[in-house]
Amino acid sequence: MHYILSLLFILSLVEIQAQPERKSDGGRTSTYLEYLSADARMGRRTGEPGNDEAAAYIAKVFSQAGLSYAPGLTSFFQEIPFVAVRPSETYQFSLQGVTFQPGADCLILSGKGSLQQAPVVFARHGLEDAEAGTSDYDGLDVSGKVVIVLPGAPGNTNPRAILEVSRRKRDLALKKGAAALLELYQLSTPWPFFTRYFGGESLQIDDGSFSHQNNLIYGWVKDKNDLIRKGLIADKTTMSASLSSAGSTVTPKPSRNVIGIVEGSHPTLKKEYVLLSAHFDHVGAGSRGGQVSASDSIFNGARDNAFGTTALLHAAANLAKKRPARSIIFLAVTGEEIGLLGSKYYAGNPLVPLHHTVFNLNTDGAGYNSTRHVSVLGWGRTGTDNLIALAARRCKLEIYKDPAPEQNLFDRSDNVSFAEKGVPALTFSPGFDAFDDQIARYYHTVADEAASVDKAYLLRFSQTFAHLARLIADAPFTPTWAKGDKYEDAARKLYRGNGR
């Protein structure tokens, strides 16, 4: 009862006092959106000038709002050492005398060299678990050989999982002395989509391993004539392969997250941090971004995610005017469109220890099909539902709870980078209840421009996001994962010793 009365008292106090974020600021939010999604930004692709310009603009807004630098920084920028990885230009592969056609039957992504009639070894998924003491290489001699493995990780073959484990697979194969590593294509994604996604230049975080990438030929192979499954896997037939690869390159292409902090007003609670996040990158311009039209080739990304970045900037400008009890980290991340890399980098290199971060409120979305709603990805999972409902009601919006569950959207935005570490997190999105034609019209298309966005709704959404951040930062409790949530164990490890 004491807890409930305390909550009601604080919430009523917050309601009585004026909050800057709920006052009209439509001109400013429109300005934010229009700058970020202007043609001059060229789609804000990570590692390109338009992205850098957007980052500089966000830093300027943070500075004007009076935000402080994060610990250890001398600016609002967290530099990320991306590299542009360009796949092999020429390659050939044959197995047991059967030729696999480049692009049609195989895709070699990296490595340099030529192998003639090299032995082939099957190594299951090509992974090992140090904690469990198991390895797919147990009992295998792969030195100087071609290793073929199953795709992705056991039970998880979505594109993001493939990206995450491929580096581990390559590093392990190289450590074991393999000359080549090929993943067997057994995915639901059509091969042409897969090769288009993985076969072009990609940005990846440089962890020092790329200097060794030419020492191992790496790629993907389709099972032509069922040769691999029937022979190598089922019958364990001894096989040999010839393989060559040349022309892959690695070029530094840095980018940056933008980070600012508002110190909390409470002498004790200010040691706890609420992390607000939004990605400001998009997919760029030209055919790399998607389907262009005769008159337009710029993917402006107004809804995805200049809209969410605008909400973050609105929160920064107004929460700094009247500081909440807990401290706030404002994190604008790059690299979301290429695998959540900006948020993953911060989660792995936090400037405020993650065990002091009590919540991540992320904002992102594919667009909206209702200007009466907001959508919550993670409803019922963090103990914040009443605060979300209160913020929406005060700003005259309704709630869609976990729309389009078949899309698994919670694990596809930057919130998951922090959830995986144990931080209670959710994504606050513009109002949509399904991926319908209204969403598809703008999602990753050249039509997603500032002029098409309902500016009154943008303001209300931004006000709701900022007000929700205040309510969470002022709450007399810390959010926690619901009992049995898949991220509960990670939280238990993260906050061990925090009294939570």
Residue 102: how many CB atoms within 10 A of its CB? 15
Using CB atoms within 10 A of its CB, is residue 119 exposed (0-12), middle (13-18) or buried (19+)? middle
β-bridge mates for residue 77, sequence order: 258
Q: Let me know: does 319 contact 21? Beta carbons within 8 Å.
A: yes
Task: Provide DSSP, 16-59.
Answer: HS--GGGS--HHHHHHHHHHHTSGGGGGGBTTSHHHHHHHHHHH
Task: Identify the structural domains of the chain with CATH numbers, from first to last.
Answer: 2-81+255-494 (3.40.630.10), 84-252 (3.50.30.30)
Helix (H, G, I), strand (E, B) or coil at 169: helix
Using CB atoms within 10 A of its CB, is residue 190 exposed (0-12), middle (13-18) or buried (19+)? exposed
Peptide bond into 225 cis (omega under 30): no
Cα–Cα dist 262/65, whole Å: 10
Q: How crowded is the C-beta side of 206, counted as CA atoms within 13 Å?
A: 17
Helix (H, G, I), strand (E, B) or coil at 225: helix
Which residues are within 8 A (CB) of 130 and not within 5 positions of it... i.e. 6 or more apart?
none
Give residue 124's region: left, alpha or beta (phi > 0; psi -120 to 50). Answer: left
Q: Let me know: does 112 contact 214? Beta carbons within 8 Å.
A: yes
pLDDT means over runs of 10, the chain (500 residues): 44 58 91 98 97 98 98 98 93 96 95 96 94 91 97 79 83 95 91 85 84 86 94 93 94 96 98 98 93 94 98 98 98 96 97 98 96 98 98 97 90 96 98 94 97 98 98 98 98 86
Among candidates 363, 339, 330, which has minimal Cα distance to 283? 339
* Residue 368, amino acid: Y
* Residue 456, amino acid: A
Q: Let me know: does 1 contact 7? Beta carbons within 8 Å.
A: no
Q: Let me know: does 341 contact 89? Beta carbons within 8 Å.
A: no
Cα–Cα dist 71/74, whole Å: 9
